[in-house]
């Protein structure tokens, strides 16, 4: 089966009409894979995006299952 690619406008639409800056921030943070450059256009591999989405979802679920590391000041034990 041939690989499927999205252009940057299609990628932005896939994630709810995010901005170009958000796309590049996500790439820099490792949230989505870097695009392939064909000619002078960026193309994003759909399979790689799907895998990145699965990883992000798994990380989110793990974070939700762990107890919070932050305790609001009003709940901290101030007796010393």
Could you give the number of structural domains in the chain? 1
Segment holding 68, helix H or strand E: none
Judge whether residue 72 has pLDDT over 80: no
Does residue 73 sit within a domain?
A: no
pLDDT, position 32: 97
Tell me if 32 sits within 8 A of 53, measured CB to CB.
no
Residue 30 CA from chain centroid, whole number? 7
79 domain residue, yes or no: no
Q: Which two tokens stand for residue 37?
A: 């450059």
Residue 78 pLDDT: 61
Q: What is the pLDDT of residues 12-22, one digit of tens each?
A: 999 999 999 99
The secondary structure of 20-52 as a DSSP string is: HHHHHHHHHHTSSPPPEEETTEEEEEHHHHHHH
Q: pLDDT tens digit string along 27-48?
A: 999 999 999 999 999 999 999 9
Query: Domain residues for 13?
Result: 5-62
């Amino acid at each position: 089966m041939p690989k499927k690619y999205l252009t940057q406008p299609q990628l932005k639409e896939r994630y709810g009409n995010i901005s170009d800056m958000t796309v590049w921030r996500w790439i820099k943070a490792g949230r989505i894979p870097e695009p392939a450059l064909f000619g002078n256009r960026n193309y994003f591999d759909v399979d790689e995006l799907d895998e990145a989405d699965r990883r992000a979802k798994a990380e989110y679920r793990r974070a939700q299952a762990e107890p919070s590391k932050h305790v609001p000041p009003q709940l901290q034990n101030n007796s010393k």
